[in-house]
Structure 1
């Protein structure tokens, strides 16, 4: 059975018309004879959307009961049993009520697709998992319902439903999206023009990436290698030379000319793994590319132009930026060079050859390290000076060997010298051996002349082979040494890039690793002349004190104290310096984030406080003022009952104000550490009834189960009473009328636990931590009651007395709050 196809209508913002457009498509398919059913559509009371359901088959919803309340969800089993050709399923990111087959609706949709049913669905851009945090930063609203990007990207069709911010705000103002009482708040918050513009751009960019994925897949499926200039992608080729900075900045300017263009830097490494660019320079170039918004890549290939073009075509690049050849004119006469070859083979990709300071000046080859140690070279020369005369004497004594055998023996001696001392001793041995063979063994003997042509050819072959063997042996030794050095450098850099930067303080760990690696006394990092970090003995604070100085990116300088560095060591230190730039930037960003977090939290608290208190202050004030104004009025005559009711209203409203102000002041003092606590030994049977009396008639409905032999608590009576009042009031607010709250108490080791139990709808376990945040009113049936300080204040007061306040699920449904305080004997 073929899998069904998924078509998603992606909304840039709520209210742009994605559900309406989805239903239009459902009507079009139904008119063409397709079997279409509406599995679930949420109209939100919008009459135009409601009208679109006409003439469409709408399946009944499933009713689920959760924590004493009823909810409706899409009936997945009914849709599967009905097996339509097309199912219309609204709100893909929706979270199902516990008890459903799947936690999320997008998982229900996967079942429909697996059953071969095509699905039309909707989702807003703020619900995409990858954009969730970005949307929260823009709008200030965190979306708890998300759908994985992979689910949306896997859809056969994704259609963006878009609308200009001005048009969407007009729709909002005309009442086409929300109810009239919500319009002003929406326009002033989520639906601000800046928010809508940002959401619109996010949706366009995300969809552009989706289109890129589809294009790449199409080109791969059809084996299309030519570049399709659907989007500007600029690739800059880096050699690891000093011209890299110029090339990167030039490529960035080219990319900036087209908004949305991609910048990619690529370095082609030789596939022998030995000869390569300076890793420190490449690391610095990587930092620069990423700071300009680009990405860094590294590929391996023996043929640099072909490897570069293969990468460019793979990413569908439109332009390549290369540096002009640094080779001299003589070298360019023999080979075309990377730039010319790349241009000739680039096809439809534009190639920019950028001039720089080193262009045409010839390559400055780094001085190659000696293949063998100095002692071995000396031993090679001694072998030539002592061994060849001795060999000549021995061969002269054992006369009778042919000239061919003499030449072979001398050739073996040259190879031995090459193995002992390397190239130059071997070359000396080849020249000296040819002279000795000529003088002592080639007729006429005793003269540097050669009578026969064959002997001349034999000596010439001897010299040629001797030089060639010497060169091969020396090259092999040099390559072995380079490989060992490259392996050591790679291992050191891998350790730096991996283990060090994963620490909590990457910069200090990096500098400490540098000090240990080269056994230095101290390592100091300067930024624009100021000491940023230092490890070891603090004796190096300025360049004059340093034994070595290495420049990092920008104004960063690393000063090393302890010993002078060799040229090969400086390469690794420069790589450390490049990584230090990354580590310093990471620590500064972390510090900025840590500084911004309290400010953001304070701003959130202030906003929540203003939103909550503005309502909860006005309501009792308005009630009290209305009651007092009515009593003072001379236009209306009130009897005793009316007057008593008005006085009770005023009294109750003032009590609410007193509780509100008291909670706010106590919370402020608690956070400032200025709340006075006077703990004494007190019984729970004294505190709890008194707290319930403060709740008035409602408090008398709470059932108590407190043992007479309960140990004394060590607590502040006034604060404990406040805690019980807050928890009991909260439990009363959430408990059904036929099942009032219950308060029990019991001893548990050195503590007494007071449990405030309600049988209301409860709160999911993953939200228990949120109930103790100030200004949270989770699960309130009346969202306009209280400012959400009760539980936060109660936990703070409990902890201030050395106790704990923790939630627990009530068996059978509901929430239990457990106050645990030390006993008088166990404190």
Structure 2
């Protein structure tokens, strides 16, 4: 059976019109004669959406009982039994009631698709699994209902339903999305302009990736190899040489000129897995690419230009960055090289050939004869000296029975045997010596180094050429086998290194210890030159100019010259090994270890710096705040109280009863301010130290809000509660104190005669308390500053307080598991919003938070 096709309307945010668009598509298909039914559609009481549902056949929902309550869910079996051509199913990420056959609605949709029925569904971007944590970070609202990205990516069609943030907020304000009692809370919480803009960008980026995948599949299915410049992609080719850093930075600058361009780095490995490049350069260049926002790739190919272009075309690249050739002039005359060949075959892909400082230095030639050890070459030479005379003696006795071609073949066999033992040079010696012996003993005229017949001359010449060729092939095979074995060993060593570093607690120490164990060393030390030293230091510089960063084994080396082997990492770091001298062929692996050590050191230092800066910054902020408080805020009420008391005690002034009462009231008011300030200071210090006791329990909103407004200025505070509200989880005393601080602050800045509005409403499992004033307000750029302790924007008069109330209020709100954020009041002013979790319908245990620990009290 052919599976059904899936079409999804992806919403940038709730309320943009996904369900409306789905129903409109269903009506269009029905009008064209398609059998369309509504499997499950949620109108959420929106009249225009309900109008679209009128006239569409609806499959009855299935009723599920859970904890004594009946819930209506999608009836998957009924939809499959009805077998329409198209079914409309809303809210793909919905979680089914416990006891249902599938936990998620998207699993129900999979069953319907498997039955051959087309499905049209909807989902919001915040419900996609891959962006769920990002959405929570942006909006502060966790999304418990999610759908796997792969489910949406498998859809045959995904259409974005989008709306400008301002337009969506106007829709909400007009009552087209939520009920009137939820509008204020929604506009001030989830549906802020910044939140909606961020969600819109997330949806566009996610859909762009989906479209890019579809484009890639289409090109692959249709065999399209040409470049379609739908999106700028810059590919930089890395050889593993030191010039790669220059190429990566140049490619990054090219990508930056095209905003949104992708940067990709690729390294081509020969098909035999053997390469002469150093891994240290590639490790460093990979880190550089990733730090610039690019990605690193590695491909295998025998022909480098073809492999590069295949990769570039595969990723639909538009530009390719290559380094100018490092080969000498003679080599460039004999072969065009990778750069020129790639440019000639690139087609529509722009190729940039970048010059660098390594251009004129050429490539390091491979040492000839490096396939075998000296002992093997000596053994091959000895074999040639021994076998050739014996073979000559044997053939001389059989000269009457064998012809010259037979003698040549037997000498060729001897040369091959010498090549197998000793490699190229002994085999060449055997070939030349054998030709001389054949000429002297077996070629007429005998016992003379002359050749009478041209046929014999040709036979000897062919013998020398074949012997030399066979010797070269055998030697190359030995060299390749040795290199392959070494490459395999290096790969095993490096993979083991990576695993040990990932499992270890101290990455740098693990790298050094692993290196010491692998090569049987006494000690491995990472040295760093003294910061005051200028210029690069040699490996034999003064020990006093180096310091030990980390070491494994012992005793450590105090300077690079103290060890047998030194690997410079950069101008300031050297990896020094002692215990035995390591051969030059191990240098590539040692450079990889050095690069890993440098990366581990950098990560270790960044982590340490972050840990050190955090408490220092906090301590500095607290110290400055306390100094400001002692220097000004504590002294002012204390001076007022002292002046009043001194006036009362003065024998030189005769005070009447009214004056005495006024002075006493002044002293009492000043001392009261001082008492509140000291209390706030102590509570703030307890909050920062995690020592404040917070007892969270179920609190009725109607019991808390009137108490917060029951102050000296109660006549200037108006209350408004939006319908029946759920209980909140909070400490009632601290919640009253938070709201009291906010109300007092709002009254202080509100114009005379204007009331302060204190409201409470519920939305998405949370309760919001809003304190709204019509004062001068605060610019959004300064909102964070008002919550800094002892900060008073503009120092608005002596009655502005000590600048601690808002900071303390936010701290208390967060200690209760809530938030405190400012907003602009429409028409002017400032709104402070306290958000706390609602108690819900379950039996939540009361909690007490003290000394930084949370414990249940019932």
User: Could you tell me the TM-score, scaled by structure 1's length?
Assistant: 0.69
SS at match of 2:344: helix
Q: Which residue of 1 aligns with 2:106?
A: 106
Q: Which residue of 2 aligns with 1:291?
A: 291
Closer/same/farther in 2, CA of residues 461 and 593 from structure 1, 3 Å limit? same
Pair 1:622-2:706 in alignment: yes
Closer/same/farther in 2, CA of residues 180 and 338 from structure 1, 3 Å limit? same
Asked whether the 8 Å contact 2:509–2:551 carries over to 1, the reply is yes
Q: Which residue of 2 aligns with 1:511?
A: 512
1:536 to 534, 549, 553: 553
State how 1:384-423 maps to structure 2 within 5 Å: 384=384, 404=404, 407=408, 410-423=411-424
Asked whether the 8 Å contact 2:708–2:736 carries over to 1, the reply is no
CA distance in 2, matches of 1:629, 1:385: 116
Shift of 1:12: 1.1
Q: Which residue of 2 aligns with 1:769?
A: none
State how 1:687-766 maps to structure 2 within 5 Å: none
State how 1:554-633 maps to structure 2 within 5 Å: 557-581=574-598, 583=600, 619-620=703-704, 622-623=706-707
Q: Per-residue displacement from partner, 1:743-791 (whole Å, max 9, x unpaired)? A: xxxxxxxxxxxxxxxxxxxxxxxxxxxxxx97499883479x9xx7714
Shift of 1:658: 6.8
Q: Which residue of 2 aligns with 1:64?
A: 64
Asked whether the 8 Å contact 1:270–1:276 carries over to 2, the reply is no
Shift of 1:615: 8.2
Shift of 1:571: 0.3
State how 1:146-185 maps to structure 2 within 5 Å: 146-185=146-185
Shift of 1:20: 2.6
Closer/same/farther in 2, CA of residues 619 and 584 from structure 1, 3 Å limit? farther
Q: Which residue of 2 aligns with 1:214?
A: 214
Q: Per-residue displacement from partner, 1:278-309 (whole Å, max 9, x unpaired)? A: 33333333222222222222222222222222
Asked whether the 8 Å contact 2:696–2:731 carries over to 1, the reply is no
CA distance in 1, matches of 2:527, 2:140: 39
State how 1:438-517 maps to structure 2 within 5 Å: 438-439=439-440, 442=443, 447-498=448-499, 500-517=501-518
Shift of 1:134: 1.9
Q: Which residue of 2 aligns with 1:549?
A: 566
Q: Which residue of 1 aligns with 2:542?
A: none
CA distance in 1, matches of 2:219, 2:28: 32
CA distance in 2, matches of 1:554, 1:164: 53
Shift of 1:437: 4.5
Q: Which residue of 2 aligns with 1:521?
A: 522
Q: Which residue of 2 aligns with 1:28?
A: 28
CA distance in 2, matches of 1:53, 1:325: 68
Shift of 1:207: 0.4
State how 1:76-95 maps to structure 2 within 5 Å: 76-95=76-95
Closer/same/farther in 2, CA of residues 79 and 261 from structure 1, 3 Å limit? same
Q: Which residue of 1 aligns with 2:341?
A: 341
SS at match of 2:359: coil
CA distance in 2, matches of 1:503, 1:235: 35
State how 1:16-415 maps to structure 2 within 5 Å: 16-359=16-359, 361-367=361-367, 370-384=370-384, 404=404, 407=408, 410-415=411-416
Asked whether the 8 Å contact 1:609–1:775 carries over to 2, the reply is no
State how 1:644-663 maps to structure 2 within 5 Å: none
CA distance in 2, matches of 1:409, 1:19: 89
SS at match of 1:283: helix
CA distance in 1, matches of 2:816, 2:300: 57
CA distance in 2, matches of 1:364, 1:320: 26
Shift of 1:104: 1.1
Shift of 1:554: 9.2
Shift of 1:312: 2.1
Q: Which residue of 2 aligns with 1:674?
A: none
SS at match of 2:49: helix
Q: Which residue of 2 aligns with 1:790?
A: 846
SS at match of 1:49: helix
CA distance in 2, matches of 1:624, 1:227: 67
CA distance in 2, matches of 1:211, 1:613: 49
Closer/same/farther in 2, CA of residues 444 and 114 from structure 1, 3 Å limit? closer
Closer/same/farther in 2, CA of residues 451 and 181 from structure 1, 3 Å limit? same
Instruction: Single out whichever of 513-522 and 397-406 deviates more from structure 2.
Output: 397-406
Shift of 1:14: 1.9
Closer/same/farther in 2, CA of residues 591 and 70 from structure 1, 3 Å limit? farther
Instruction: Single out whichever of 26-35 and 3-12 deviates more from structure 2.
Output: 26-35
CA distance in 2, matches of 1:562, 1:364: 30
CA distance in 2, matches of 1:377, 1:295: 46
Closer/same/farther in 2, CA of residues 617 and 224 from structure 1, 3 Å limit? closer
Closer/same/farther in 2, CA of residues 296 and 354 from structure 1, 3 Å limit? same
CA distance in 2, matches of 1:376, 1:51: 91
Q: Which residue of 1 aligns with 2:839?
A: 780
CA distance in 2, matches of 1:218, 1:258: 25
Closer/same/farther in 2, CA of residues 774 and 455 from structure 1, 3 Å limit? same
Asked whether the 8 Å contact 1:520–1:562 carries over to 2, the reply is yes
SS at match of 1:130: helix
Asked whether the 8 Å contact 2:697–2:845 carries over to 1, the reply is no
CA distance in 1, matches of 2:613, 2:165: 30
Asked whether the 8 Å contact 2:565–2:578 carries over to 1, the reply is yes
Closer/same/farther in 2, CA of residues 438 and 369 from structure 1, 3 Å limit? closer
Asked whether the 8 Å contact 1:371–1:478 carries over to 2, the reply is yes
Closer/same/farther in 2, CA of residues 170 and 597 from structure 1, 3 Å limit? farther
Q: Per-residue displacement from partner, 1:408-457 (whole Å, max 9, x unpaired)? A: 55544444443443322333333344444445555555554444444444
Q: Per-residue displacement from partner, 1:10-47 (whole Å, max 9, x unpaired)? A: 11122222223223333333444444443333333444
Asked whether the 8 Å contact 2:80–2:112 carries over to 1, the reply is yes
CA distance in 1, matches of 2:55, 2:510: 69
SS at match of 1:191: coil
Shift of 1:160: 0.8
User: Could you tell me the TM-score, scaled by structure 2's length?
Assistant: 0.67
Shift of 1:196: 2.2
Instruction: Single out whichever of 43-52 and 18-27 deviates more from structure 2.
Output: 43-52
CA distance in 2, matches of 1:333, 1:167: 66
Instruction: Single out whichever of 502-511 and 190-199 deviates more from structure 2.
Output: 502-511
Closer/same/farther in 2, CA of residues 147 and 253 from structure 1, 3 Å limit? same
Shift of 1:214: 1.6
Instruction: Single out whichever of 352-361 and 144-153 deviates more from structure 2.
Output: 352-361
CA distance in 2, matches of 1:399, 1:627: 130
Asked whether the 8 Å contact 1:325–1:359 carries over to 2, the reply is yes
Pairs aligned (count): 663
Asked whether the 8 Å contact 1:329–1:360 carries over to 2, the reply is no
Closer/same/farther in 2, CA of residues 453 and 215 from structure 1, 3 Å limit? closer
SS at match of 1:563: coil
Q: Per-residue displacement from partner, 1:298-345 (whole Å, max 9, x unpaired)? A: 222222222222222222222222222222232233332222222222
CA distance in 2, matches of 1:34, 1:577: 67
SS at match of 1:363: coil
